[in-house]
């Protein structure tokens, strides 16, 4: 280790870092070569999702230097393609989010780019909306979405309010890789830039107009105002509380209970170390309050309020819905109401990721709605919306969704949006309650009509440099030498998405001989491989049994690579 490039990089950082906390962090690891290696063996990946990583000192960590370097690269890219650029910047409740937002604003400004910086924490969808409203050339939101508390991130957006595409990400990365992290970054006098109007603080007007327009898009406003529906809401200590409470209040919903321990922004997420609304563990505090007040449903938003999680009262217990089940319900509700009220556009379309529920296709057929599949990542849903807009067909867009609890039911943003999702879910629950049904009843009626479609994903984590190599081996094997059997179940067919045209990506599909389809892809933002299980069964119990067995044989398969 003494002659390694990692140790050399570490020593350069020790000589150049001025930030007290980062200096202290560097000193703490000086006698731990493995930790030095992990922090310096590479730079944080910059891709279509921007940056994401653990907070701390090092090139493979989120800190003011790695954020500044990424910003310098994006600034150089923007200045090459256009003069007099501008950018909107938002941040969530995570540790260091405000500081990273300010250093991002500083570097953009130093590069001659006008900055619009939100003064208060704002959700990701409001940043996307701000880019479109202000007509800026780019956007940044500082967040690690639903990752654990030790993470933060840097989401990069284009002038459409959509996360940047692969071509842009590669061009920005090319600029980043030319830079020395300490000597090539431009900085300005932040306070002077504010005084001169080069950095403009944004107040609440934009956020309020976003809420107002989201409310205007709702289909059944009168139902919510009359309903006695009882809702528990938790922002999971994130940025969603203000806009989501604003819209629920605007809807006239009176019986709202907020989880007090998760109400205020807190980057440590003390009652919820993994603030992912897809996971039942993250909803524990909300479910406890549901039992106390007898609420009809629990709704949660994640730290940057782009994802929404839901649990429904089911007898004396509460059932946590999967992201796909929420998508199925919203698909049915929007199609039903628009059809009944003669509001359906001429050629309606719902856009979903390729790994999301197949039941929606069946619902779409009944309502003569096209269900368009795109690659994983909401940037692809936003990209399809851009295509519709370019062709003057955006009015045909009904909804976009992906299985990881991301939904968009308006054209205000180009990224997933828990504000509009939660408003629609609350309205939908109120509507069906007026008919004497819970959302569980509605789901069961869909299964009775179309069959039991069960879709669930499971992530397998591979940390550090050794984990990256294992992930690479797994994916190469699945592409080049897929198994003939998974456990004792025959693999009937294999689809390699690297060989696809429109849907080309690093993903593999295996169709098994028991009504199970498995889709496998590495995460673009985390050290994980995600397995998606699509199951058709005779009942919910049958599907759960098949799923548990599928996970078991997946785990056995993965042991071959350790």
Tokens matching residue 319: 């059932």
Distance of CA 76 to the CA centre of its chain: 27
The whole-angstrom separation of Cα 307 and Cα 420 is 10
Q: How would DSSP label each residue in 166-195?
A: HHHHHHHHHHHHT--TTTS-----HHHHHH
Interstrand relation of 297-301 and 199-202 (parallel, antiparallel or unpaired)? unpaired
The whole-angstrom separation of Cα 122 and Cα 243 is 9
489 within 8 A of 561, measured Cβ to Cβ: no
Q: In the beta sheet, which residues pair with residue 397?
A: 349
Q: Is 145 a catalytic residue?
A: yes
Tokens matching residue 135: 């007509």
Q: How far is CA 158 from CA 49, 127, 173, 383, 385, in A?
A: 12, 11, 15, 11, 14
First to last CA, the chain: 24
> For residue 97, which of 20, 57, 151 has the smallest C-alpha distance?
151
510 within 8 A of 494, measured Cβ to Cβ: yes
Tokens matching residue 347: 């050629």
Tokens matching residue 431: 């509507």
Helix (H) or strand (E) holding 263: none
CB atoms within 10 A of CB 390: 9
- Per annotation, catalytic residue among 97, 145, 224, 457: 145
Torsion region of 515: left, alpha or beta (phi above 0 gives left; psi -120 to 50 gives alpha):
left
498 within 8 A of 444, measured Cβ to Cβ: no
Phi, psi (degrees; rounded to nearest 5) at 33: -60, -35
Q: How far is CA 253 from CA 225, 301, 326, 491, 531, in A?
A: 6, 18, 20, 50, 38
Strands, E, within 275-390: which ranges? 297-301, 308-314, 317-320, 349-353, 370-374
Tell me which residues are annotated as active site. 145
């Amino acid at each position: 280790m003494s002659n390694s490039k990692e140790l050399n990089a570490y020593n350069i950082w020790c000589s150049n870092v001025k930030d007290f906390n980062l200096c202290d962090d560097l000193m703490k690891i000086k006698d731990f070569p493995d930790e030095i290696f992990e922090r310096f063996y590479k730079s944080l990946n910059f891709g279509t999702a921007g940056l994401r990583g653990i907070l701390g000192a090092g090139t493979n960590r989120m800190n003011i230097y790695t954020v500044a370097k990424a910003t310098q690269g994006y600034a150089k890219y923007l200045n090459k393609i256009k003069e007099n650029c501008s950018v909107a910047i938002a941040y969530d409740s995570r540790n260091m989010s405000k500081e990273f937002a300010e250093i991002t604003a500083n570097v953009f400004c130093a590069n001659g780019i006008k900055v619009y910086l939100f003064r208060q924490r704002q959700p990701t969808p409001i940043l996307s909306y701000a880019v479109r409203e202000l007509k800026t050339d780019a956007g940044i939101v500082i967040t690690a979405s639903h990752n654990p508390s030790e993470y933060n991130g840097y989401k990069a957006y284009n002038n459409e309010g959509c996360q940047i595409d692969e071509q842009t990400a590669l061009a920005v990365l090319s600029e980043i890789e030319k830079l020395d992290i300490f000597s090539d970054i431009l900085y300005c006098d932040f306070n002077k830039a504010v005084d001169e109007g080069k950095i403009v603080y944004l107040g609440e007007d934009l956020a309020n107009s976003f809420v107002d327009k989201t409310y205007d898009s709702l289909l059944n406003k009168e139902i919510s105002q009359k309903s006695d529906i009882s809702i528990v809401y938790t922002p999971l200590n994130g940025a969603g509380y203000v806009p989501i409470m604003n819209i629920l209040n605007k809807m006239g919903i009176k019986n709202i209970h907020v989880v007090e321990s998760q109400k205020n922004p807190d980057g440590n997420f003390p009652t919820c170390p993994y603030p992912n609304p897809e996971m039942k563990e993250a909803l524990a505090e909300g479910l406890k309050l549901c039992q106390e007040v007898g609420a009809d449903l629990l709704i949660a938003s994640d730290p940057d309020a782009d994802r929404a999680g839901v649990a429904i009262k089911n007898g004396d217990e509460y059932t946590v819905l999967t992201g796909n089940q929420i998508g199925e319900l919203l698909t049915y509700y929007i199609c039903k109401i628009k059809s009944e009220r003669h509001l359906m556009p001429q050629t309606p379309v719902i856009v979903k990721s390729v790994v999301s529920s197949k039941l929606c296709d069946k619902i779409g057929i009944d309502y003569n709605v096209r269900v368009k599949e795109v690659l994983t990542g909401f940037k692809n849903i936003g990209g399809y919306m851009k295509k519709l807009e370019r062709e003057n067909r955006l009015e045909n867009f009904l909804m976009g969704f992906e299985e990881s609890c991301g939904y968009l039911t308006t054209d205000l943003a180009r990224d997933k949006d828990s504000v509009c999702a939660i408003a629609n879910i609350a309205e939908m629950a109120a509507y069906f309650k007026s008919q004497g049904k819970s959302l569980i009843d509605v789901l069961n009626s869909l299964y009775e009509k179309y069959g039991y479609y069960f879709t669930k994903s499971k992530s397998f984590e591979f940390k550090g440099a050794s984990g990256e190599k294992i992930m690479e081996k797994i994916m190469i094997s699945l592409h080049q030498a897929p198994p003939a059997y998974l456990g004792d179940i025959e693999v009937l067919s294999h689809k390699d998405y690297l060989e696809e045209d429109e849907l080309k990506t690093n993903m593999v599909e295996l169709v098994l001989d028991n009504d199970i389809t498995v889709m496998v892809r590495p995460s673009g933002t985390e050290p994980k491989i995600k397995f998606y299980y699509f199951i058709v069964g005779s009942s919910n119990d049958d599907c759960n049994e098949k799923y548990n067995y599928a996970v078991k044989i997946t785990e056995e398969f993965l042991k071959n690579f350790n």
